[in-house]
């Protein structure tokens, strides 16, 4: 095997390793993107229509969501308050866990209901 044939083989090995590293890099980046997008919580908003505290469900904009006192955190103006304050007519911003249970609920309206909360 002469000098030029050896150089050609070494270049081929070098290119193969380079292509493999690039492919692995793209694979890692696409997997990381999937993991990060699943971690980021989606924020929803809607109006509370029904509260069924005995059953552990709240209906928000036509959809039933489970809630638990130990799991669900309710906020009003950045302060944590109890779930018992939730009632029909309140407009809320909320996040869910993987089982469609409420994780966080932030009361955002309407103004007259917020005024009642402030007074109590």
Q: What is the pLDDT of residue 77?
A: 85
Q: Is the entire prediction scored with pTM above 0.75?
A: no
Q: What is the pLDDT of residue 68?
A: 85
The answer to whether the beta carbons of residues 41 and 103 sit under 8 Å apart is yes
Buried b (16+ CB within 10 A) or exposed e, 104-118: bbbbeeeeebbeeee
**One CATH from 2.40.50.140, 2.40.10.480, 2.60.120.10, 3.40.50.880 for 43-119:** 2.40.50.140
Give yes or no for residue 3 having a pLDDT over 90: no
Burial (Cβ within 10 Å: 0-12, 13-18, ≥19) of residue 86 = buried
Q: What is the pLDDT of residue 25?
A: 60
What's the whole-number mean pLDDT along residues 23-35? Answer: 55
């Amino acid at each position: 095997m002469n000098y030029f044939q050896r150089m050609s083989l070494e270049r081929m090995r070098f290119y193969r390793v380079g292509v493999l590293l690039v492919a692995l890099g793209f694979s890692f980046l696409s997997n990381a993107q999937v993991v990060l997008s699943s971690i980021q919580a989606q924020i929803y908003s809607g109006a509370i229509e029904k509260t069924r505290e005995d059953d552990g469900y709240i209906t928000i904009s036509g959809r039933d969501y489970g809630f638990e006192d130990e799991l669900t955190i309710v906020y009003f103006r950045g302060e944590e308050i109890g779930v018992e304050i939730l009632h029909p007519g309140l407009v809320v911003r909320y996040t869910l866990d993987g089982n469609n249970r409420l994780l966080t609920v932030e009361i955002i309206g309407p103004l007259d209901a917020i005024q009642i909360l402030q007074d109590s």
